[in-house]
Amino acid sequence: MIIDRYIVSSILKVAAAALLICTMLVVAVELFSSMNNYVTNNVPVGQILYLSLLGFPEYLMMCASLSFLFATTFFLSQLEGNNEMIMLFNSGLSYRRVCLPILVMSAAASLLFFAFSDSFMIDAAVEHDRLSVELFGQTSTQDSSDITVSAVDGSYVVFASYYSQPQERLYDVTVVERGKDGRVARRLVCDYADYSGSSWVFHEGREYTVSPEGTTAAFFSELNLEHIDLDPYMFTSQARNISTMDRAQASLYLEQLRSADISAWCQAATDYVSRLFAPFSVFILVLISLLMNYRFKRNIFLFSLIQSLCTAVIYYVMQMLVSIMCEQGILHPVFSVIIPAATVLVLSLLIRFAGGVNG
């Protein structure tokens, strides 16, 4: 339908322009804040531009929801301000019918941003982190130190002083195994361990076995324990950074963490839920904009924008507060998404009905 194409194209044009401008502003701020590091480390201009390009996807996601909020508010306020909404009503269209293509467009945009953030943005973030290590000596997401990883069933715990991603090797390794009664049954201490493709092979170490008769010790040059089969990915710092894990690794990590440390699980699960549902804030904020009241007598765009932005601020503040409660274990992590969205939607409805409904 012609009116649907007009509505969608009008909003997308403004949203694209706002998104580009906001993202470039964030890139400029990031460049300015990192200028001291660039100058100190004599980073070439090409590398600086490449780092900015790698950060661009994340900045794009940061600005997406507010850009669509601005575009939707601008379009609807212009319809009211230019009396075009009256023309649409007189042609037989209801306000719900005007909102329908906007809702479909925002839902499609949310799904596209979700696919974008779950693939390209994560890859760019990992590469950005790797390059930052090379240029500035920051902490890597691939190599990590002072690692403690537990088995899913809690039958053993692996400690290591350092993990090298290229070699898939652990250094200064200690493994503590528990028996069926929950007590320590065996302890391994070795210089290093290599991943064989299905399990870990321990080299140059000592094995302590605990039994009712006492503790025995034995030296070994090589020991393959097939039941110690933790994926090498679990020893990287990236594996403890839920924001850069793929979904399969994140699910495994959360499962292991829940059995080992429930307080750490609450924080990681909250971050993961927030990461998954962040792209859908585009749909939520557009819905907020549609529920706003645009029947101001003058300065329609200004008051409509202030109204929508204030509601958006409430949404993000609520999200922050509820996320803190979820990270502390007071609420389930899923409520970090549900409560802020429900709160602002109810608030928007109240504002709309208080100012009169368009129909």
Domain CATH number, residue 166: 2.60.450.10
Domain assignment present for 246: no
What is the percent of the chain where pLDDT is above 70?
91
Burial class (CB in 10 A: 0-12, 13-18, 19+), 33: exposed
pLDDT for 359 equals: 47
Number of domains comprising the chain? 2
pLDDT for 140 equals: 45
pLDDT for 137 equals: 56
127 vs 278, higher pLDDT: 278
Residue 249 · residue 255 · CB < 8 Å = no
Q: Which residues contact 180 (CB under 8 A, 6 or more apart)?
A: none
| Residue 6 main-chain phi, psi, to 5 deg | -65, -45
pLDDT for 142 equals: 46
Q: Residue-wise over 245-263: b if at least 16 C-beta within 10 A, else e?
A: beeebbebbbebbeebeee
pLDDT tens across 207-238, in order? Answer: 998 887 778 888 999 988 888 888 787 777 55
Phi-psi region of 189 (alpha: psi -120 to 50; beta: other; left: phi over 0): beta
Can you tell me the mean pLDDT for 343-354?
Answer: 79
Whether residue 344 has pLDDT greater than 60: yes
Are 126 and 7 contained in the same domain? yes
Can you tell me the mean pLDDT for 57-70?
Answer: 90
CA distance 152 to 356: 56
Are 8 and 97 contained in the same domain? yes
Domain assignment present for 263: no
Are 351 and 307 contained in the same domain? yes
Are 13 and 116 contained in the same domain? yes
Whether residue 56 has pLDDT greater than 80: yes
336 vs 264, higher pLDDT: 336
Residue 174 · residue 184 · CB < 8 Å = no
Q: Looking at 236, 256, 291, which one is the last position of a domain?
A: 236
CA distance 118 to 23: 19
Domain assignment present for 264: no
pLDDT for 47 equals: 84
Domain that holds residue 154: 144-236
Nearest to 54 by CA among 34, 69, 81, 74: 34
Compute the mean pLDDT over every residue in the chain, rounded to the nearest whole number: 83
Domain assignment present for 204: yes
Are 7 and 102 contained in the same domain? yes
pLDDT for 144 equals: 64
What are the distances in angstroms from CA 108 to CA 13, 99, 287? 16, 14, 13
pLDDT tens across 169-186, in order? Answer: 888 999 999 887 778 888
94-108, 140-154, 326-340: least confident range = 140-154
pTM equals 0.71
Residue 193 · residue 170 · CB < 8 Å = yes
Domain assignment present for 255: no
CA distance 97 to 359: 10
pLDDT tens across 83-121, in order? Answer: 888 888 888 888 888 889 999 999 999 999 998 888 888
Are 275 and 159 contained in the same domain? no
